[in-house]
A = this chain, B = another copy of it.
Amino acid sequence: MKSKNKKYDISFRIWFYLGEDKFLGKGRIELLERIKRTGSITNAAKEMKMSYRQAWQMVQEMNERAKSPLVEKRLGGKTGGGAIVTDAGVKAIATFHKLENKVKSYVKKEFKKINI
């Protein structure tokens, strides 16, 4: 006979969209944070085990979809130079986490009320 003392939990994810196109999600926010910390798309990509090409494509998509760019390249050599997260980028990171935290509280609270 199976135990009925099973401990369930809930998880969630949120994404911001621009029309049908993904704008920001957990992964992209993490990329922004790592660019901010390392000052480099190359290093941020390495940390996330992504290719530079993948990371740069994500950055380009975010920049195109944002009202103003979230990441700006600094002048640099052929290896890509540095990159900074703009004020708009810093704000996007904060806004995403703030909403994520609110949703987390709500989801946990509502989950407690149900019996699965």
Pairwise interchain contact B107-A6, C-beta atoms closer than 8 A: no
Contacts of A106 in B (CB 8 A): 103, 106
- Contact A17:B6 (CB < 8 A) given known A95-B114, A99-B110, A103-B106: no
Q: By the criterion of a CB under 8 Å from any partner CB, how many residues of chain A are at the interface?
A: 35
How many copies of the polypeptide does the oligomer hold?
2
Q: Within the complex, which residue of B12, B16, B24, B67 is in contact with A14, where a contact is CB–CB below 8 Å?
A: B12
Q: What 9 A-B pairs are tightest by C-beta distance, nearest first?
A: A9-B17, A12-B14, A11-B15, A4-B67, A106-B106, A13-B13, A102-B110, A95-B114, A95-B116
Which residues from chain A sit less than 8 Å from chain B, CB to CB? 2, 4, 6-19, 23-24, 65-68, 92, 95, 98-99, 102-103, 106-107, 110-111, 114-116
